[in-house]
Chain A
Amino acid sequence: MLEIRWHSRAGQGAVTGAKGLADVISTTGKHVQAFAFYGSAKRGAAMTAYNRVDDEMIMNHEKYMEPDYVFVIDPALVYTSDVTINHKDTTKYIITTHLSKEELIKAQPKLEGKEVYTVDCIKIAQETIGRPIPNTPMLGAFMKISGMYDIEFFKESMQRILKKLPQKIIDANMVAIQRAYDEVK
């Protein structure tokens, strides 16, 4: 079982990102689950979304999760939310930030000793899509760190998932995914 927790603000696309990732993975024959906690939270409120992936049918519906990966798609949540809650020794973190890894860990000492990767999904999204929607770049970074799928396969799959958007936006998302894949450290 692979488990992922997303830290996001409502409106940044974590739910869409989690569902999109689940959709791509499902096409490869694996079982998936994507869900979120938002209650009646308003746009901008901190929220979490989740993915589970397994070779067998996923029956666990508990909200509690000890994630294999933590995605943080808003740079301020590292300070205002406990992004390390319920962590394992092996939990990997992919964090949106303009800081270097060293600066980030200095600013948030809880990340000391953890496997942390950084990428500026907000900047990438602004420069490619034109809006600070950091969900698809995060998935590009995840493909690099996890080695889950070939990036070209992943981009093709995401084109199908985004197909209802204007072509210009789809193309921009592809650039954003590739950039995050290339830039994550």
Chain B
Amino acid sequence: MAFDKMELREVEVWDGNFAAAQALRQAQVDVVSAYPITPSTPIVEGYAKFKSDNYVEGEFVMVESEHAAMSGCIGAAAAGGRVATATSSQGLALMSETLYQASGMRLPIVLNIVNRALAAPLNVNGDHSDMYMVRDSGWIQFDAFCPQEAYDLNFIAFKVSEDHDVRIPAIVNQDGFMTSHTAQGVKTLTDDEAYGFVGEYKPMNDMLDFDHPVTHGVQTEEDWHFEHKARQHNDMMTIVPGKIDEAFAEFEKLSGRKYNQVECYDMEDADVAVVCMGTSVETAREVAREMREQKGIKAGVVGLRVIRPFPFKAIGDALKDVKAVAALDRSAPGGAAGMLFNEIAGSLFNTDSKMLLSGYIYGLGGRDLTKKHLVDLYTELQANADAGKVLTQQQQFIGVRGPKLAYL
């Protein structure tokens, strides 16, 4: 082979960014087209270093903006290569136009989003505003709660996205700084195991196949646009979930690490539950266990592993027998209930569930979600459960200074 393999220890101490960069190296990406932005920079920087050290064979294209970065990815994916990049926040905002091009053209691309707040005020820290901004862009979206998962989910993202029955680009989210810059033990795959799992890239409708000319990036007006969009949505709703489950099962066979579209912790007999994403899921798991041991409150946690396609049924099943649930949204709601509040409410509407749902906005701009906050939250949920009704307003804020804010 024209490039070197890398010997990894069984457990490496990596932050989420380096874990993602290593996954891109092991997946043998053909083209990374990138423009750096905090806190995702080390992913593409790490990949570029692997390239300069002869650990990858692919092309690294430095471009002039995030819009160009994704445009480069689209071109390379249409040409018929395995493609990936990374961005955050303002970079994703600039890239967003091209995200819709990528999904609409059914191009398999893996985008690592290191979640960060959106300006103004300018802020480089972690929240989910950027994730929420592109949630309806037609991309599959995975969410990592720690560096290990940022590593693993990249392989899974390639596997699902490139499947010829799918051909939909995929995003792997990880929390800015809290995952991306936090070093933890990461159990590694060998280069051969990782590449064996992702598999050789199989082109489809590739522009470089001159024997079978194809057109990409077409225009369709009201005659066909709706059918394209409807069928793409149909594939998201009917084909992608099964493909994700298959990839999760195959990955478990390889690594022993089991992923689920909806991750449930201590939920079997839970009276109260918190639903959230990112690193908050793990902190909440620790607090839920302590609530059980120390306060006798049957607390559980539901973490969303797959955000799009939204696991409507799985989340409904996870929560239907719970008495009181908090939906935690790490994004400014901009004049509405939080996204998770809305999606969960939708999942359980028209069912027999008597679940009491309340929404909380937290952690904007990297504001710490402490264990104390979560203890107070579970205590509030237990009070709702005991009273048989939501005793507070339905939308509150956690950890914000100034007068208490509550709505709905």
A to B contact number (C-beta, < 8 Å): 65
Q: Interface size class for chain B?
A: 20 to 34
Question: Given A59-B286, A60-B371, A62-B368, A35–B181 Cβ distance below 8 Å?
Answer: yes
Most buried by B among A22, A23, A31, A62: A62
A32 interface residue per 8 A CB criterion = yes
Shortest Cβ gap from A75 to chain B (Å):
26
A61 at the interface (CB under 8 A from B): yes
Q: How many Å lie between the Cα of A35 and that of B13 in the bound state?
A: 12
Given A19-B13, A39-B125, A61-B280 in contact, is the A33-B371 Cβ separation under 8 Å?
no
* Distance of A17 from chain B, by nearest CB (Å): 12
Tell which of A26, A59, A62, A63 touches B185, judged by Cβ atoms closer than 8 Å.
A26
Per the bound structure, the CA–CA distance linking A26 and B148 in Å amounts to 14
A40 at the interface (CB under 8 A from B): yes
Which B168-207 residues have C-beta < 8 A from chain A? 175, 177-178, 181-185
Closest-by-CB residue of B relative to A64 is B370
Chain B residues, Cβ within 8 Å of A59: 282-283, 285-286
- A58 contacts chain B at the CB level, 8 A cutoff: yes
Contact of B38 with A40 in the complex, beta carbons under 8 Å: yes
In the assembly, what is the distance between CA of A19 and CA of B147, in Å?
14
Q: Is the CB of B184 within 8 A of A33?
A: yes
Interface of A is mostly: mixed
| Chain A 5-47 interface mask (CB, 8 Å, partner B; 1/0) | 0000000000000110011001000011111100110000000
Decide if B178 touches A35 in the complex (CB within 8 Å). yes
| Structural contact, A58 and B184, CB atoms closer than 8 A | yes
The interface bits of chain B over 311-355 (1 if a CB of A lies within 8 angstroms of the residue's CB, else 0) are 000000000000000000000000000000000000000000000
Name 27 A/B residue pairs within 8 A (Cβ), A-sorted. Answer: A19-B13, A19-B15, A19-B183, A22-B13, A22-B184, A26-B11, A26-B185, A31-B184, A31-B185, A33-B184, A34-B182, A35-B15, A35-B178, A39-B124, A40-B38, A60-B283, A61-B175, A61-B178, A61-B280, A61-B282, A61-B283, A62-B369, A62-B371, A63-B370, A64-B370, A64-B371, A64-B372
Given A23-B183, A59-B286, A61-B280, 11 more A-B residue pairs with CB atoms under 8 Å apart are A19-B183, A32-B185, A33-B182, A33-B183, A35-B15, A35-B182, A58-B184, A60-B283, A60-B371, A62-B370, A62-B371
